[in-house]
């Protein structure tokens, strides 16, 4: 492995010509990138001082006790790893973290009892809660899950089916659906046994659909030409038909009382449009027309010599005879 790694690296000629570097030197020192190995050097130096510095990630969102800022889950720190007792035979560890915003020291420790971490000092855990409703999916508790797997009496009391068989409701539903699943599988096997027949049926359905689309396009083009429209027409649907049937024009869709009221208003408007002093004309005959002409002529002659009052009377008499 060491030989393979060495051959995969490129060493320039200057590396071998420089007397400062030899076989035991590395490329990082030659390129001036000695800081790449500084982490291991610092860690080894701290080990000599009795300190165990490791790379630690925050297991959850925490609030810093110094600057009161949120440090999100997964942020990495160079932390001191210290022993802080035991839980039965399990070692408890504390990790000293320095906030990158305010240099405040925080301590996060392991919690073997609950199989998690806890905030010891200098910080607190950020708790995010939400309101549960009917649509919220409740995740089963890990303790209840373990009890259901290990304790048959607990499973019988809390997760048993209603048929009294002692099995869970999922097992009962699975057994009931097994026959239908086998039937569906058998039908699918029969259908997929002949690939040529399936391909033929699929191509036939595509051809029929293409033909129907072509006929519908011709009908739509004729409809657009008839209405002088240049926009594409969507196919008719049941919702469009229901909306069209719901439209009411005139007296359609009105109740009996509404129709009666509309007819009454129409008759009233017709009466109001007729003048009060309506003239009734008699059927015209040659004798009546002659007499009316004679009377009108006599009235016109009399009007030239009579007074204004006599003119009005003669005109009224002529109208009565002519009416």
Q: What is the DSSP string of 60-107?
A: S-EEETTT--EE-TT-EEEEEEEEEEEETTEEEEEEEEE-TTT--EEE
Output DSSP code: residue 85. Answer: E
Highest mean pLDDT among 39-48, 174-183, 302-311: 174-183
Query: How distant is the alpha carbon of residue 92 from its chain centre?
Result: 47
Specify burial of residue 110 (Cβ count, 10 A radius: 0-12, 13-18, 19+).
Answer: buried
pLDDT of residue 144: 80
Say whether pLDDT at 109 is over 90: yes
Beta carbons within 10 angstroms of residue 214's beta carbon: 9
Nearest to 18, CA basis, from 31, 5, 37: 31
Say whether pLDDT at 29 is over 50: yes
Say whether pLDDT at 267 is over 80: yes
Q: What is the mean pLDDT of residues 278-289?
A: 48
Higher pLDDT residue, 14 or 71? 71
Neighbouring residues of 122: CB distance < 8 A, sequence distance ≥ 6: 64, 65, 66, 104, 105, 106, 107
d(CA 130, CA 235): 45
pLDDT of residue 316: 67
Say whether pLDDT at 104 is over 70: yes
Beta carbons within 10 angstroms of residue 245's beta carbon: 9
> Is the Cβ–Cβ distance between 77 and 58 less than 8 Å?
yes
pLDDT of residue 49: 67
Say whether pLDDT at 307 is over 60: no
Say whether pLDDT at 132 is over 80: no
pLDDT of residue 7: 58
Model confidence at 272, pLDDT cuts 50, 70, 90, reads: confident
Higher pLDDT residue, 50 or 201? 201
pLDDT of residue 176: 83
d(CA 231, CA 130): 49
> In whole numbers, what is the pLDDT of the chain averaged over residues?
76
Say whether pLDDT at 114 is over 70: yes
Say whether pLDDT at 288 is over 50: no
Neighbouring residues of 57: CB distance < 8 A, sequence distance ≥ 6: 73, 74, 75, 76, 77
Among the residue ranges 88-92, 198-202, 227-231, 304-308, the one predicted with the least confidence is 304-308
Q: Which residues, in sequence order, are bridge partners of residue 166?
A: none
pTM score of the predicted model: 0.33
Among the residue ranges 112-121, 229-238, 259-268, 275-284, the one predicted with the least confidence is 275-284
> Is the Cβ–Cβ distance between 61 and 89 less than 8 Å?
no
> Is the Cβ–Cβ distance between 64 and 99 less than 8 Å?
yes
Tens-place pLDDT, residues 54-101? 889 999 999 999 999 999 999 999 888 999 999 999 999 999 999 988
d(CA 69, CA 79): 19
Say whether pLDDT at 310 is over 90: no
> Is the Cβ–Cβ distance between 15 and 28 less than 8 Å?
no
d(CA 136, CA 16): 68
Higher pLDDT residue, 156 or 115? 115
Q: Which long-range contacts (CB under 8 A, 24 or more apart) does 158-167 make?
A: none
- Annotate 3-22 with three-state secondary structure: HHHHHCCCCCHHHHHCCCCC
């Amino acid at each position: 492995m060491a030989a393979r790694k060495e051959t995969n690296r490129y060493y320039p000629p200057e590396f071998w010509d420089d007397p400062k570097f030899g076989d035991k030197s590395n490329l990082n020192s030659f390129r001036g990138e000695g800081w790449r190995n500084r982490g291991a050097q610092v860690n080894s130096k701290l080990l000599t001082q009795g300190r165990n510095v490791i790379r630690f990630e925050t297991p959850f969102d925490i609030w810093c006790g110094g600057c009161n800022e949120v440090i999100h889950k997964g942020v990495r720190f160079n932390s001191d790893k210290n022993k802080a007792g035991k839980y039965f035979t399990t070692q408890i560890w504390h990790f000293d973290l320095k906030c990158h915003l305010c240099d405040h020291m925080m301590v996060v420790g392991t919690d073997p009892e609950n199989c998690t971490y806890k905030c010891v000092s200098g910080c607190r855990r950020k708790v995010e809660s939400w309101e549960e409703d009917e649509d919220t999916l409740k995740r089963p508790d890990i303790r209840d899950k373990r009890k259901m797997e290990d304790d048959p009496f607990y499973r019988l009391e809390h997760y048993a089916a209603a048929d009294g068989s002692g099995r869970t409701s999922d097992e009962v539903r699975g057994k009931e659906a097994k026959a239908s699943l086998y039937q569906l599988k058998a039908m699918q096997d029969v259908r997929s046994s002949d690939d040529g027949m399936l391909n033929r049926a699929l191509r036939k359905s595509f051809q029929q659909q293409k033909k129907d689309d072509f006929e519908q396009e011709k009908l739509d083009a004729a409809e657009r030409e008839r209405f002088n429209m240049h926009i594409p027409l969507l196919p008719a649907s049941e919702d469009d038909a229901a909306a069209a049937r719901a439209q009411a024009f005139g007296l359609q869709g009105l109740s009996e009382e509404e129709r009666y009221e509309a007819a009454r208003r129409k008759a009233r408007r017709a009466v109001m449009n007729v003048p009060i002093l309506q003239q009734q004309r008699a059927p015209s005959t040659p004798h009546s027309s002659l007499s009316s002409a004679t009377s009108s002529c006599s009235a016109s002659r009399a009007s030239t010599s009579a007074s204004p009052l006599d003119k009005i009377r003669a005109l009224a008499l002529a109208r009565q005879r002519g009416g």
